[in-house]
Amino acid sequence: MRVIRVGTRKSQLARIQTDSVVATLKALYPGLQFEIIAMSTTGDKILDTALSKIGEKSLFTKELELALERNEVDLVVHSLKDLPTVLPPGFTIGAICKRESPYDAVVFHPKFVGKTLETLPEKSVVGTSSLRRAAQLQRKFPHLEFKSIRGNLNTRLRKLDELQEFSAIILAAAGLQRMGWQNRVGQILHPEECMYAVGQGALGVEVRAKDQDILDLVGVLHDPETLLRCIAERAFLRHLEGGCSVPVAVHTAMKDGQLYLTGGVWSLNGADSMQETMQATIHVPAQHEDGPEDDPQLVGITARNIPQQAQLAAESLGISLATLLLNKGAKNILDVARQLNDAH
């Protein structure tokens, strides 16, 4: 029986996410065996520094990619938002699974349960490890203070509950959902309050780009709508040259053959901001088998069973929106944010 080795981070959430992908694969391929191999990444080890300060793009992926390269694992399951828009040579995202909620959620300290960010007392401290969240929320809720909080979900919830430092923390709704902690969600932030990170809520399966067998194996996991939305989001971010060290956020929707992409950039304190929306006509295909096309990677993704035309239209939408913002002066906002972040 062939054994497929699956790499994952060690955190409980990463394990749950990997287990869900493996369960789907097992159901599709009853003749294969799957072995899960868990490892720690740089981002899991450096816990005393804000993510945006570490200055390493592949914080949560590097060690896993090394294992892929050395042939110690055959595929790796990631939160798509942890995967940089340019992958190291030799790797590709072979599947993007159906997205869960892409929104951010607020979890309150037990003494503030029933509150919202708006109704928290003046100068309440809100924990988030993301410049994107802090910039948008500072602009929207100037009475609050935002402070970095690091660690996996369990650690962050423990810090919230046990230290009297934070009144609330902001986390991805999808992670809380997957952990079964929906009951802790006090508020879901909608796009007008806080747009989400590129790829948030979706899982990506990274494989060796030349490993045709494994590409075919995981390709069936692609969810066409999620794939096209994430191609547009990743193309937008890549063209802006954004990463962890600058506040960039998006919102996408697919409706009646139209893909809508809203993207924004913010200064670190949220005072300066710029956002625009564009749309493109894209028909979400039913999955179909094409003859083997060349595998052009779009923003690090290979999806042979989704028509190339739809993928290119999604990529082009992301690039057009980024170009529009850059032409309106977004580069200046991002450069200043980068310099300030580096200087802190």
| Active site members | 82
CB 333 within 8 A of CB 314: no
Q: How many residues does the chain have?
A: 344
Q: Which residues contact 251 (CB under 8 A, 6 or more apart)?
A: 191, 195, 196, 261, 262, 263
**Rounded to whole angstroms, how far apart are CA atoms 295 and 340?**
40
**Rounded to whole angstroms, how far apart are CA atoms 36 and 248?**
33
**Rounded to whole angstroms, how far apart are CA atoms 184 and 105?**
9
Of 119, 114, 125, 176, nearest to 149 by C-alpha is: 125
CB 199 within 8 A of CB 233: yes
CB 240 within 8 A of CB 318: no
